[in-house]
Amino acid sequence: MPSLLAPGGFVIWTRANQEPDLRERIRQSFVAAGLDEVSFDGHPEPFGVGVSRRIEPRPAVEATLRPRLFTFVR
């Protein structure tokens, strides 16, 4: 996931509270990948919504390997 995000980019994800409830594992996976958790709402709701943000700079090698997929415009 981090290779698809520019530094400062956000990931918004959702997950239902089904057995097995993987929401905590998903949250930990984003942290392990180098993203900071901005927010998570879910307990005790039947669904969860999380927001994570990439904070570390993009390595030079990674920047040359990943073309821009799309651009948001206002």
Query: What are the structural domain ranges in the chain?
Result: 2-65
pLDDT tier, 23 (very low <50, low <70, confident <90, very high otherwise): very high
In the sheet with 47-54, reading across from the earlier edge strand, the strands are 10-16, 47-54, 35-41
The CATH number of the domain covering residues in 2-65:
3.30.70
Q: How many Å apart are CA 21 and CA 55, to the nearest integer?
A: 27
| Tens digit of each residue's pLDDT (9 = 90 or more) over 32-70 | 988 999 999 988 888 999 999 998 765 655 555 566 777
What does pTM read for this prediction? 0.70
β 10-16/35-41 pair status: unpaired
Give the largest Cα separation in the chain, rounded: 43
In the structure encoding, which two tokens stand for residue 48, read together? Answer: 């969860």
Q: What are phi and psi for residue 25, nearest 5 degrees?
A: -65, -40
